[in-house]
Amino acid sequence: MYRFNYHRPTSLEEAEQRLDAGEDALFLAGGQTLIPTLNLRLASPSDLIDLAGIDGLSGIDVADEMVRVGAMTRHAEVAASADVQASLPVLADLAGQIGDAQVRNRGTLGGSVANSDPAADYPAAVVALDATVHTTRRTIPGAEFFLSLFETALQPGEIITAVEFRVPKRAAYQKFPNPASRYAVVGVLVAEFDDGVRVGITGAAACAYRSDDLETALNASLAPDAVDAVDIDYDRFNSDLHASAEYRANLVRVMARRAVEALLREG
C-alpha cells in the first residue's frame, strides 16, 4: 500500500474542501473495494477522505410508499431493519445476500452504488425499483445512473447522500452467486408496480440495466413461462473465468424465472 494522507471530515462541506485540496484524493465509504485495491497497489491516492464521520449520511426512513436509505448505511443494517422488512422486503433480502457477514457489516449502500461494480447486488435494486439517487448537487433517476463498467453519472466531487426506492406491490430478487465472493454472476430483480413490471439485471453486462424484452414479456403475462420465450441478447455480456457470455444469458433467464416464481408466492 502506498502512503497517503488520511482525513475524517465532520461535514459534507469539509469533505468537498479536502477533495479539492488533494492532488489525487478519493472518498472512502465502507472500503470493501477501495481497501483491497490499495493493498494490491492498484491505486495510489494522495489523500483518503473518510465519510464515516459525517452526521446524517446513514439511517432508514419509510414514508409515502418510499424507502429512503442513507448512503453510509451498512448492508447489515438494511438486511436487519424491521421497517425495510415490512415495507420493502426484497431490499432486505438482497442486502442479506451481499458478501459475507464481515462485508455486510462494513460495506455501505452509497459505496456500492457509486462503485458500479458489474457484479454488485444493489444496482439491480436501483434500476428495478425506480430509485432516485440523491447527491450533494442534485437527484439522479436510478435508470440513468449506471453508465458502464465502474462508471456512473456522478460528476467529480459529487457525493451520494441517500438512495430513495419506490415500494412495489410485490418484488423478488434471485441471484447465482460466485461461491467464493458471493458476488452475483447474474442477479435479477423483478418488481410489479401499478404502472407495470420492471426488471433489473446485474452481473451479466458491464453495469446493471433494465431488460426491455423481459419487461415486455412479463407485462403481457406475469408468469414464469413468459420468461422462457424471451431471446436474451448476450452480445455485450461479460465473459470471464466464472461464466461465458452465453452461459450468463441462460442464467438471466433462469434467475428471472425464479424471481417471478418467488414474486407470485407473495400472493
Residue 146 shares a structural domain with residue 15: no
CATH of the domain at 16: 3.30.43.10
Domain that holds residue 29: 5-53
Residue 68 shares a structural domain with residue 183: yes
Residue 126 shares a structural domain with residue 64: yes
Residue 85's SS3 state is helix
Residue 82 shares a structural domain with residue 137: yes
> Count of domains in the chain?
2
Model confidence at 71, in pLDDT bands (50, 70, 90)? very high
pLDDT at 163: 98
pLDDT at 138: 97
Residue 40 shares a structural domain with residue 120: no
Residue 65 shares a structural domain with residue 154: yes
CATH of the domain at 179: 3.30.465.10
pLDDT at 215: 98
Model confidence at 47, in pLDDT bands (50, 70, 90)? very high
Residue 140 shares a structural domain with residue 207: yes
Residue 35 shares a structural domain with residue 120: no
With beta carbons less than 8 A apart as the criterion, state whether 48 and 7 touch. Answer: yes
pLDDT at 96: 98
Residue 41 shares a structural domain with residue 76: no
Rounded to the nearest integer, the mean pLDDT of the chain is 96
Q: Is the pLDDT of residue 267 over 90?
A: no
User: Which positions ≥6 away from 261 have C-beta within 8 Å?
Assistant: 172, 224
Residue 212 shares a structural domain with residue 88: yes
C-alpha cell at 210: 433494465
pLDDT at 2: 85
Residue 114 shares a structural domain with residue 32: no
Model confidence at 113, in pLDDT bands (50, 70, 90)? very high
Residue 241 shares a structural domain with residue 133: yes
